[in-house]
């Protein structure tokens, strides 16, 4: 039996383990980032933390969506809409964590960072994108939005890294955003050219896992350094 057949026959086990690992990483990042927010009152980290709240929800819904799809269950459109909305919002929060200073002037807004007046536009755009994809029966609005999101995030994080080479986190952020951009481009190609080839999706999943691990490592490093200073 070839490796490809083994992987296909154990698809659901791999999907479950992958989801479990990614959601666990997201929760770890959320808790680590939240601790850093409490110590530093850094607004950008609040938005960074929010991204992984939505990533955790998105990957949980992705797993549920696969179950609903394979067993032809009802409410497929609703589950898919929540999945896309969460995934798009996660990308938007990552981007906004890089540019929030251009729109907010206080160091720490007392209002919630999840639904304040600045990010409500992202929520509306994410809803429109997810509804449009569900109605048209494809993922192209999501792909397009996230390719653009990670393209701009890669450029911004690169210049941040150039300005602050003495700090490690901007370097991790830039590498992660570049990997995120690659993942979204590969996802688009897999959907449009390779008809959702499962082996290609596994390769993309590995790159995506590296994306999350790099950001987790970066968060662990800055929280550890901050605790030493304290």
- Whether residue 5 is contained in a domain is answered as no
- Whether residue 1 is contained in a domain is answered as no
Of 134-138, 180-184, 187-191, 224-228, the poorest mean pLDDT is in 224-228
**6 or 184: which leads in pLDDT:** 184
Q: Which band of pLDDT confidence, cut at 50, 70 and 90, is reported for residue 221?
A: confident
Of 16-25, 31-40, 52-61, the poorest mean pLDDT is in 31-40
Q: What is the mean pLDDT of residues 8-20?
A: 84
Domain count, the chain: 1
- Whether residue 35 is contained in a domain is answered as yes
pLDDT at 62: 93
Domain that holds residue 144: 11-229
Q: Is the pLDDT of residue 214 over 70?
A: yes
Other Cβ atoms within 10 Å of 140 Cβ, number: 15
pLDDT at 12: 81
Secondary structure of the chain in HEC code, one letter for each residue: CCHHHHHHHCHHHHHHHHHHHHHHHHHHHHHHHHHHHHHHCCHHHHHHHHHHHHHHHHHHHHHHHHHHHHCCCCCHHHHHHHHHHHHHHHHHHHHHHHHHHHCCCCCCCCCCCCCCCCCHHHHHHHHHHHHHHHHHCCCHHHHHHHHHHHHHHHHHHHHHHHHCCCCCHHHHHHHHHHHHHHHHHHHHHHHHCCCCCHHHHHHHHHHHHHHHHHHHHHHHHHHHHHHHHC
Whole-number percent of the chain with pLDDT over 70: 87
- Whether residue 2 is contained in a domain is answered as no
Measured between alpha carbons, how far is residue 181 from residues 57, 80, 122 in Å? 20, 22, 19
Q: Which band of pLDDT confidence, cut at 50, 70 and 90, is reported for residue 17?
A: very high
pLDDT at 230: 36
| CATH number where 18 lies | 1.20.1070
Tell me the per-residue pLDDT of 149-187, one tens digit each, with 9 for 90 and over: 999 999 999 999 988 876 777 888 999 999 999 999 999
Q: What is the mean pLDDT of residues 5-14?
A: 73
Tell me the per-residue pLDDT of 49-102, one tens digit each, with 9 for 90 and over: 999 999 999 999 999 988 877 666 667 889 999 999 999 999 999 999 999 888
Q: What is the mean pLDDT of residues 201-210?
A: 93
Q: Is the pLDDT of residue 4 over 70?
A: no
pLDDT at 229: 47
Residue 203 CA to residue 112 CA, distance in Å, equals 37
- Whether residue 63 is contained in a domain is answered as yes
Q: Is the pTM of this model over 0.85?
A: yes
């Amino acid at each position: 039996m070839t490796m490809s057949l083994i992987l296909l026959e154990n698809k659901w086990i791999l999907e479950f383990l992958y989801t479990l690992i990614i959601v666990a990483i997201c929760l770890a990042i959320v808790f680590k980032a939240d601790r850093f927010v409490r110590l530093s009152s850094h607004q950008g980290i609040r938005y960074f933390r929010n991204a992984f709240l939505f990533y955790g929800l998105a990957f949980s819904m992705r797993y549920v969506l696969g179950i609903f799809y394979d067993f032809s269950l009802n409410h497929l459109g609703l589950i898919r809409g929540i999945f896309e909305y969460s995934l798009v919002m996660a990308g938007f929060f990552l981007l906004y964590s890089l540019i929030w200073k251009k729109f907010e002037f206080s160091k720490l807004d007392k209002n919630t960072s999840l639904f304040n007046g600045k990010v409500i536009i992202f929520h509306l755009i994410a809803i429109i994108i997810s509804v449009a994809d569900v109605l048209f029966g494809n993922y192209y609005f999501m792909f397009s939005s996230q390719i653009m999101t990670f393209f701009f995030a890669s450029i911004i994080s690169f210049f941040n890294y150039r300005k602050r080479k003495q700090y490690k986190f901007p370097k991790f952020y830039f590498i992660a955003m570049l990997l995120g951009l690659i993942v979204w481009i590969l996802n688009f190609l897999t959907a449009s050219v390779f008809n959702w080839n499962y082996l290609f999706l596994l390769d993309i999943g590995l790159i995506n896992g590296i994306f999350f691990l790099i950001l987790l490592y970066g968060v662990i490093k800055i929280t550890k350094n901050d605790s030493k200073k304290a």
